[in-house]
Structure 1
Amino acid sequence: MKRISVQDIMTRKVVGVDQDTPLSEIIRLMSEKQIGSTVILDKEKPIGIITIRHILKMAEKCTPPATVKAQNVMTHPLITVKPDVNLRNASILMLQKGIKKLTVVENGKLIGLVTTTDIERVFMPFDSPFEIIKNESAVSVGLREEFQRDMEKKLVEEIMTKDVKTVDSSMKVNEIAKIMNATKIGSLIVTKNEKAIGIVTDLHIVRRIMNDGLDPCTVTAEEAMENLITINPKDTLKNSVEKMITNTVKKLGVINSNDSLVGIITTTDFLVYYRSLLFRQKILEK
């Protein structure tokens, strides 16, 4: 079996900008291209990286992004790998450094980016429950049909995340960013009078607050939130995935018959569950 290396799976179209680029321009690029990171260059040499987390830190401090240059906020020195490094070694390096992205460099120049998600795709036949519903995954027909049958029987409450983090509708966006930075959570449910009314995500803060030049110290959660699509805990996984597809979302608030928030279900919850099933099946086959 051919050894898989970083260059076999890396993303080759990587956005790189000069170290003197204002953070506001980087935010614009990340929002426009819908990407989660930008590599920072000194001429053509990669020297750092800026991710959504860096921008959240600026939101936390209410720092106007136009006043900050990339070199002042980027993570550096940059951790890089060569394109011929095998995936096992790349994975170990990510774990050791506590990172989810590695910049791929050849002869001192940026040629790609590899993430933990890229590596997971090699070993798992799907990276979204949407693929199972739409029959688009690389899973065998028999296994896919088994997963689909399971989705029709298993309930949302069986795999949802029950420990839901919430924020009051009056909380300012900079405080929300502070919570996200401290907890490494990418979304928070917004409540008003103890009822869930919306959701704020890290991407929303970057693309619609920081990118639009709004002040995170004055914008409230209620002003910044997106509509929260909900589902009942007794509903099936199939219905929840179909609702995600219909509404183009990856998260659903779980509201019981008493109109109380009891959990949240995300595409990640599905992947954790179905990948565990797949792993157990492989163990049984052995």
Structure 2
Amino acid sequence: MHKNNQSVKQGDKLLKMPGKLDRGPIEFRSHIAESEGEIMGIATRDVISVPPTMTILSAVETMTEYGFRRLPITDAGTRRLRGIVTARDSIDFLGGGDRFNLVRVKHNGNLLSAINESVREIMTQRVTTIPHTASIAEVTRMIVDKKIGGLPIVDDEEALAGIVTERDVMKALATEETDVIVEEIMSTSLRVAGPDTPIGTVTSRMITHGFRRLPLVSDDVLYGIVSASDIMKYLGSGEVFRRLSTGDVAEVMALPVRTLVSGDLFTTVPGANINDAALKMLQKKVGALPVIEDGRLIGLITEFDLVKAFSEE
């Protein structure tokens, strides 16, 4: 009992340092716009989208299967964008924010029941989009100014034409050599959690503070890092249901967050060049790197940090 209390207390501190149903149709983009901007050269064109009638479970399973952080929701016939569901929306639904009311209030805490509601219940409806004629510079400004991780691209009929992400932009911009090092752009005020902090506490903290990921620290040593995508995969892989016996969401959200941490932990050092940090993120397919010095966590560098830094060079 003492260990759990200690972990929750540690998680509150601020670290300062220098049942599957029908999946429904899944659509792939095949139409190519007649007049395209340079953004289409780095964007994903064959975009998977799903209809608003698909269940939450099937949508999250689709994201988990393909490794997506976001999934456009479109009308089946016109492919007009109706919304988007993200990894963040899924952790909001599991207990982090307002979408949790669908489970807690409408379904009396029964996750097995709530998960079969349609995805329109948790999707973000007001979606920021960009036209297929946009330049990379325009998209970069939008990502930096609005702090958006991914943007659906629409054609002249407002139909889904592609999607571009922070990672796509970072990959394009990182080809330019720079002398900037990780220490100059990393975040140094980090909220952290202990590895024994309940998953539900972590999801709530992520939504409250707008985090996509949270470092896990034990006795001032980095244990791992958990992301919104890790928590989403907990649901989409079916692991939640293997651990669920009563159907009550509180049962699985009370488990320690270390349950979700994989054995792989990729880090960087404060003196590394940001080109090298970007290359490591691309190779390892991660959205952030903890920054380690003398065996201790001193910061975090993300894809967003790199896009912003490269755009300012």
Instruction: Calculate the TM-score normalised by the size of structure 1.
Output: 0.67
Q: Structure 2 residue aligned with 1:13, among 46, 58, 61?
A: 46
CA positional deviation for 1:189: 0.4
Name the counterpart of 2:258: 222
Distance in 2, matches of 1:166 and 1:125, equals: 28
Distance in 2, matches of 1:95 and 1:14, equals: 23
Cα 1:55/1:87, change in 2 over 3 Å:
same
> Residue 79 of structure 1 contacts residue 103 of structure 1 at CA under 8 Å; is this kept in 2?
no
**206-215 or 13-22, which deviates more:** 206-215
How do 1:1-286 and structure 2 match up within 5 A?
A: 5=37, 8=40, 11-45=44-78, 46=80, 47-60=82-95, 61=100, 63-64=111-112, 66-76=115-125, 83=132, 100-102=150-152, 104=154, 107=157, 110-115=159-164, 117=166, 121=169, 126-128=172-174, 137=175, 139=176, 144=177, 147=178, 150=179, 154=181, 156-214=182-240, 216-226=252-262, 227-233=264-270, 249-257=286-294, 259-277=295-313
> Residue 199 of structure 1 contacts residue 228 of structure 1 at CA under 8 Å; is this kept in 2?
yes
* Post-superposition CA distance 1:154-198 (Å, at most 9, x none): 5x4333221122112122222222222222221110122332211
> Residue 222 of structure 2 contacts residue 297 of structure 2 at CA under 8 Å; is this kept in 1?
yes
Cα 1:21/1:191, change in 2 over 3 Å:
same
What code does the residue aligned with 1:198 have? G
Cα 1:125/1:74, change in 2 over 3 Å:
closer
> Residue 209 of structure 1 contacts residue 224 of structure 1 at CA under 8 Å; is this kept in 2?
no
CA positional deviation for 1:260: 3.1
Distance in 2, matches of 1:78 and 1:28, equals: 22
What code does the residue aligned with 2:311 have? R
* Post-superposition CA distance 1:48-89 (Å, at most 9, x none): 222222212112237446322112222336666765678899
CA positional deviation for 1:4: 6.1
CA positional deviation for 1:8: 4.4
Distance in 1, matches of 2:221 and 2:152, equals: 41
What SS does the corresponding residue of 1:67 show, helix, strand or coil?
coil
Cα 1:222/1:78, change in 2 over 3 Å:
closer
What code does the residue aligned with 1:32 have? E
Distance in 1, matches of 2:267 and 2:136, equals: 38
> Residue 17 of structure 1 contacts residue 41 of structure 1 at CA under 8 Å; is this kept in 2?
yes
Distance in 2, matches of 1:41 and 1:198, equals: 36
Cα 1:88/1:175, change in 2 over 3 Å:
same
Cα 1:127/1:181, change in 2 over 3 Å:
farther
Instruction: Calculate the TM-score normalised by the size of structure 2.
Output: 0.62
Name the counterpart of 1:283: none
Name the counterpart of 2:4: none
- Gap runs ≥5 in structure 2: 1-34, 104-110, 241-248
> Residue 171 of structure 1 contacts residue 220 of structure 1 at CA under 8 Å; is this kept in 2?
yes
CA positional deviation for 1:206: 1.4
